[in-house]
């Protein structure tokens, strides 16, 4: 029993014992239904991940097109 892995919500820290947790399809973090951000019929850990999913842009790109320097 050395690999016990306890999941908890990234938002409020609640555990699977007291709440139902989902996993973000973008960043694989877990979150409870209270903290879930819903978009496109799916649930995400945050609006940022929802936007990432909608844009389909999850490549390694460090450059922000909005930055002008």
Residue numbers at the binding site for Zn ion (CB under 5 A) = 9, 11-12, 24, 26-27, 32, 34-35, 45, 49
Separation in Å, CA 67 to CA 58, 62, 63, 64: 18, 11, 8, 6
Q: Helix (H, G, I), strand (E, B), or coil: what is residue 23?
A: strand
Q: How far is the CB of 40 from Zn ion (least distance, A)?
A: 14
Closer of 26 and 39 to Zn ion (Cβ): 26
Residues facing residue 42 across a β-bridge: 39
Q: With respect to Zn ion, which residue has the nearer C-beta, 18 or 24? A: 24
Q: Given the structure tokens 């409870």, which residue do they identify?
A: 32
Q: Which is nearer to Zn ion, 27 or 39 (CB)?
A: 27
């Amino acid at each position: 029993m050395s690999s016990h892995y306890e999941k908890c919500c990234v938002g409020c820290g609640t555990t699977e014992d007291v709440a139902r947790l989902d996993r973000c399809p973008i960043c694989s973090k877990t979150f409870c239904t209270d903290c879930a951000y819903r978009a496109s019929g799916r649930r995400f850990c945050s609006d940022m991940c929802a936007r990432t999913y909608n844009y389909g842009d999850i490549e390694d790109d460090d450059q922000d097109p909005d930055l002008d320097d």
